[in-house]
C-alpha cells in the first residue's frame, strides 16, 4: 500500500504578509519533514506537498487556523516514494504568472462547474441549455501531450503568459458555445475563465478543481492519457496513480 500522501491546493486571497508567512510555513513544513513547493504572492497561495499522512494533515490543519485558508480543500493522491527532493517556500509576483494585473480572482471568480456536471455535458454532447460544449486546455503544450480531454481545444501555448494573446486570436471560434476551461488543479483555468469573461464570452466556466478533481469525482470518462504533474511522478492516471506519459508509450 502506498504510504506517501501528496496534496495540492491553492487559493486566491490577498496576502500582504507573504514574506513573513514564508518563514512560518517553511519552519512548519520542515518540522513535519514534508517536501514540496509552496508559492506565496500578494494574490494568494499555491502548494504541493508530500510526506507521511499524519504530518501532511497536521500541516493543513495548522494552515486552516488562519481564517484566510479555512476553506482550503486539498486534492489528495498517494505514491510509494517521496516525489519531491526538497522543501521550498517562495514569494513570487504571482502564484501563477499571467502578466495580466487586472485579473484578480480574489475579487470574484468566474463561475465554476462541478466535475460530475462536465461529465454529464460531455456524455450528452451539450449543456443543459442545449448549447454545444467545448473544453479548453489552458496548460502548456508539453502537459497537453501527456493527456487531455477528447477534442479539447489546444492552442499549443508554451507558457501561461501566452494565453491572453492566444485567446484574442481565437475569440470568434468560442462565441455561442459553452466553454469549460481546465488545467491540472484549477489555478490556471480560474484566471483564464475570468479573462474570457472580460473579453466578452458569456458562457464560460472553469472546471472546479481541475483535472485532478475530475479524476477524483468521476470515472475519468472523456479524458485520454494521464495528467502531467510537476514532480517525479510525472503523470497521474484517472485512478490518481502514477502512469506513463503518452510520449513514452
- Residues with catalytic annotation? 183
> How many alpha carbons lie under 13 Å from residue 100 in its C-beta half-sphere?
19
Phi, psi of 161 (to 5 degrees): -65, -15
Give the C-alpha separation, 155 to 138, whole Å. 8
Q: Are 199 and 40 in contact (CB under 8 A)?
A: no
Give the C-alpha separation, 142 to 45, whole Å. 24
Q: How far is CA 140 from the centre of its chain?
A: 13
In angstroms, the first-to-last Cα distance of the chain is 26
The DSSP-derived string for 4-26 is: EEEEEEEEE---TTHHHHHHHHH
> How many alpha carbons lie under 13 Å from residue 246 in its C-beta half-sphere?
13
Amino acid at each position: 500500500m502506498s504510504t506517501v500522501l501528496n496534496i495540492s491546493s491553492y487559493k486566491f486571497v490577498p496576502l500582504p504578509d507573504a514574506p513573513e508567512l514564508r518563514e512560518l510555513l517553511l519552519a512548519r513544513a520542515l518540522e513535519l519533514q514534508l517536501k514540496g513547493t509552496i508559492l506565496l504572492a500578494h494574490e494568494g497561495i499555491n502548494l504541493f506537498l508530500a510526506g507521511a499522512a499524519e504530518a501532511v494533515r497536521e500541516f493543513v490543519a495548522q494552515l486552516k487556523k488562519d481564517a484566510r485558508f479555512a476553506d482550503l480543500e486539498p486534492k489528495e493522491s498517494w505514491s510509494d516514494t517521496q516525489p519531491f527532493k526538497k522543501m521550498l517556500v517562495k514569494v513570487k509576483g504571482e502564484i501563477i504568472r499571467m502578466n495580466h494585473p487586472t485579473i484578480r480572482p480574489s475579487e470574484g471568480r468566474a463561475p465554476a462547474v462541478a466535475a460530475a456536471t462536465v461529465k454529464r455535458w460531455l456524455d450528452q454532447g451539450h449543456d443543459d441549455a442545449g448549447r454545444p460544449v467545448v473544453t479548453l486546455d489552458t496548460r502548456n503544450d508539453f502537459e497537453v501531450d501527456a493527456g487531455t480531454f477528447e477534442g479539447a481545444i489546444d492552442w499549443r501555448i508554451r507558457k501561461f503568459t501566452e494565453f491572453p494573446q492566444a485567446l484574442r486570436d481565437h475569440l470568434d471560434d468560442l462565441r455561442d458555445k459553452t466553454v469549460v476551461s481546465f488545467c491540472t488543479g484549477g489555478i490556471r483555468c480560474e484566471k483564464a475563465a475570468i479573462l474570457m469573461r472580460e473579453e466578452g464570452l458569456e458562457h464560460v466556466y472553469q472546471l472546479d478543481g481541475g483535472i485532478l478533481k475530475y479524476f477524483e469525482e468521476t470515472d475519468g470518462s472523456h479524458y485520454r492519457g494521464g495528467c502531467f504533474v510537476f514532480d517525479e511522478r510525472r503523470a497521474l492516471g484517472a485512478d490518481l496513480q502514477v502512469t506513463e506519459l503518452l510520449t513514452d508509450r
